[in-house]
Structure 1
Amino acid sequence: MAGIGEFGLIGRVTARLSMGPTTVLGPGDDAAVVAAPDGRVVACTDVLVDGRHFRRDWGSARDVGHRAAAANLADVAAMGAVPTALLVALCMPADLETSWAEELADGLAAEAATVGASVVGGDMSSSPTLTIAVTALGDLGGRAPVVRSGARPGDVLALAGRIGHAAAGLTVLSRGFRTPRLLVEAYRRPQVPYPAGPQAAQLGATSMIDVSDGLLADLGHVSRASGVAIDVRRDAFEVPRQMADAAQALGVDPYTWILAGGEDHALAATFPPTVALPPQWRPIGTVTDGVGVTVDGGVYEGPRGWDHFR
């Protein structure tokens, strides 16, 4: 980075980006211009710190780009919106290879392109710690946002996307292994069910959340915001063979990954019992009177999810 300089790198990175249909004005000015047909803009932000959220020896720069984008795009989808744009701030050491930053941009752009969004701008700075901060924007398409506080007793709890895979992959990598490939790749590049978010909104979902810190922990946010109790059925989850084999080899209960692992960015939502759920959404529990999250009707004694300060 010291050799090419800030503006040289900006030129290289922006030359690699293509603009989607919602981008009116992309990188090159003081700010970008993004269309907001709905008249409202959904916005969220997330930060990834080297050594805390990712390790460069566990995946490529392109992998990190996919993960950074997915963490934000999933939050937009969890509001029932369609992502439109990403803004990226990159703080990096002066001795970081230029190619790493370029490949990071490729990963960010590729993940954004899966939903028709674009990387429209951002900022760069020198820093002793490599840090990536991403802001995502989205459009509701005339729908009301699906919030955490709308769940009602009698609702059905459902999940879209896979869960436990990324947490299992993280455990595998932290133990010094690189297989099973299914789990390691799930950690490196989440497969987020982005269309399921707007779909849930159209179906009449009463609440929704992106599972980033662990299913039980994130459902706890819904429980508190809605003032309801949520019960999760353990038998609603299938344990894939690769996960079961890894769990046995590592001495881990696979349901710890499923119930408390994050970063697959599955979407959890509650629906009125009269809604016919499409195949993408599978029932995993129920909403009742009370407060708190239980498993099979009882208190779950294992870990519930991730908290940066605990």
Structure 2
Amino acid sequence: MRLSHMDEFSFIQSIRPKYYKQSSVIKGIGDDGAIVKPPFDSDLVMATDTMVNNIHFSLDYMTFEDVGYRVLAANLSDLAAMGSSPLYYLVNITSPKYMTNSNLKRIIDGMKELAGQYKMDLIGGDTTSGNELVITVTVLGSLPNSKYRLRSSARLNDIVFVTGNLGESGYGLKLLQSNVEHHYFNQKHIRPSPRIDFVDATTNVKRMCLNDISDGLSSELYEIAEASKVSIAIDWAEVPFHDEMASLDHTELRKLTLSSGEDFELVGTCSDEDWNKIREVCDQHQIKVTQIGQVIDDMTTQPTVYINEYGKRKRLNREGYKHGKN
């Protein structure tokens, strides 16, 4: 069941942009479909994700603006993992009876706040009525010069690296659920920063495999290993985390950094030569990158991820983040 005609019409009018930042938008909101002219000499990358209240986010400790910001950030992280720069987005919202047009507009305003940082344009979408608040965002980005950053691009002896620190979003969620105020960690969960900065800084890197850390480091590493038909070994001592998390119980710290999700940092692999380039440009742009391991085998029939911990190498369990659970 769709929203009433007047409700939907007034909502669309309230979110319709006065102008489009991307000159490639020929027709945006206001027709049965959007028309864009693909960027010259670039490939178009598309990603979509659906998030549900009390599973992927919670209005118990997030504002409507926070929800919009976070849902779009998750999609932009997918673009970052593909090495793509953001261009446009479309939004579909299923809203329960308690949602007003004002609430919906606040969700869109949160998206626009993040989108404005990258000159992204909202070019379409739809609204319907339902039992739960459900938001689906589709994002489109450009990928210049066929610089594909695929999970299947890892090679033997590649450096394995991550951006930023790990486990901060999971720790922030734990604090929020315990009603503990800690602005830094709370915001890491509520308003994560997709690594578009890393994408922009590394356009000249020849070959790079990337995956965004949405379901936990161990899960993302297995996705790379399986797609590339390799095995990977990481070192626990090199896994980066915030200084304030160092006092946590070892089991909890290990779970947060290796298995908790939604950090929306990037994990990747590259050659020694490209790793030197990455470190140099990331240092110039003040982007934290850390070598955590190496691709150790490209002939395996059973791709495996190992962790070197306290002088011993063992198989790393594949434990990804489960939405709606601690």
1:215 to 209, 214, 217: 217
- 2:118 matches 1:115: yes
Give the CA deviation at 1:190: 0.2
Q: What is the identity, as a one-letter code, of the residue corresponding to 2:270?
A: F
- 2:258 matches 1:255: no
2:319 to 279, 284, 304: 304
For residue 197 of structure 1, what is the aligned residue in structure 2? 199
CA distance in 2, matches of 1:71, 1:79: 13
CA distance in 2, matches of 1:162, 1:83: 23
CA distance in 2, matches of 1:201, 1:103: 34
Give the CA deviation at 1:40: 2.7
- 2:10 matches 1:8: yes
Give the CA deviation at 1:19: 2.6
Q: How does 1:97-116 map to 2 (within 5 A)?
A: 97-116=100-119
Matched-pair contact (CA < 8 Å) for 2:56–2:324: no
Q: What is the identity, as a one-letter code, of the residue corresponding to 1:229?
A: S
Give the CA deviation at 1:298: 1.7
For residue 240 of structure 1, what is the aligned residue in structure 2? 242
Q: What is the identity, as a one-letter code, of the residue corresponding to 1:127?
A: G
Matched-pair contact (CA < 8 Å) for 2:50–2:137: yes
For residue 86 of structure 2, what is the aligned residue in structure 1? 83
CA distance in 2, matches of 1:229, 1:34: 41
* Change over 3 Å in CA distance of 1:116–1:146 after alignment to 2: same
CA distance in 1, matches of 2:33, 2:209: 33
Matched-pair contact (CA < 8 Å) for 1:82–1:198: yes
Give the CA deviation at 1:307: 4.7
With structure 2 as the length reference, what TM-score do the two structures score?
0.86
2:38 to 36, 45, 48: 36
Give the CA deviation at 1:198: 4.6
Aligned-pair identity in percent equals 29
- 2:67 matches 1:49: no
Matched-pair contact (CA < 8 Å) for 1:182–1:242: no
CA distance in 2, matches of 1:244, 1:23: 48
Give the CA deviation at 1:148: 0.6
Q: What is the identity, as a one-letter code, of the residue corresponding to 1:294?
A: Y
Q: What is the identity, as a one-letter code, of the residue corresponding to 2:315?
A: V
Matched-pair contact (CA < 8 Å) for 1:50–1:56: yes
Matched-pair contact (CA < 8 Å) for 1:2–1:94: no
- The gaps in structure 2 that reach 5 residues or longer are none
SS in 2 for 1:72: helix
Give the CA deviation at 1:97: 3.0
CA distance in 1, matches of 2:199, 2:304: 24
- The gaps in structure 1 that reach 5 residues or longer are none
- 2:25 matches 1:19: no
For residue 264 of structure 1, what is the aligned residue in structure 2? 263
Give the CA deviation at 1:215: 0.8
> CA offsets per residue over residues 165-191 of structure 1, 9 Å max, x none?
1111112222x3232221111110002
Q: What is the identity, as a one-letter code, of the residue corresponding to 2:120?
A: A
Q: What is the identity, as a one-letter code, of the residue corresponding to 2:153?
A: G
CA distance in 1, matches of 2:143, 2:240: 33
Question: What is the root-mean-square deviation in Å for CA atoms of aligned residues?
Answer: 2.4
SS in 2 for 1:70: helix
Matched-pair contact (CA < 8 Å) for 2:80–2:199: yes
1:132 to 105, 119, 135: 135
- Count, aligned residues: 304
- 2:307 matches 1:295: yes
Moved more, 51-60 or 155-164: 155-164
CA distance in 1, matches of 2:160, 2:89: 30
Give the CA deviation at 1:234: 1.7
For residue 162 of structure 1, what is the aligned residue in structure 2? 165
Matched-pair contact (CA < 8 Å) for 2:147–2:207: no
Give the CA deviation at 1:23: 2.9
Moved more, 157-166 or 46-55: 157-166
SS in 2 for 1:263: coil
> After TM superposition, where is structure 1 displaced by more than 3 Å over at least 4 residues in a row?
1-4, 198-201, 307-310
For residue 92 of structure 1, what is the aligned residue in structure 2? 95
> CA offsets per residue over residues 248-301 of structure 1, 9 Å max, x none?
5xx962221111121121111111112213233321111111421122132235
For residue 183 of structure 1, what is the aligned residue in structure 2? 185
2:155 to 147, 152, 157: 152
Give the CA deviation at 1:3: 11
SS in 2 for 1:27: coil
CA distance in 1, matches of 2:243, 2:323: 31
Give the CA deviation at 1:39: 5.0
Moved more, 121-130 or 203-212: 203-212
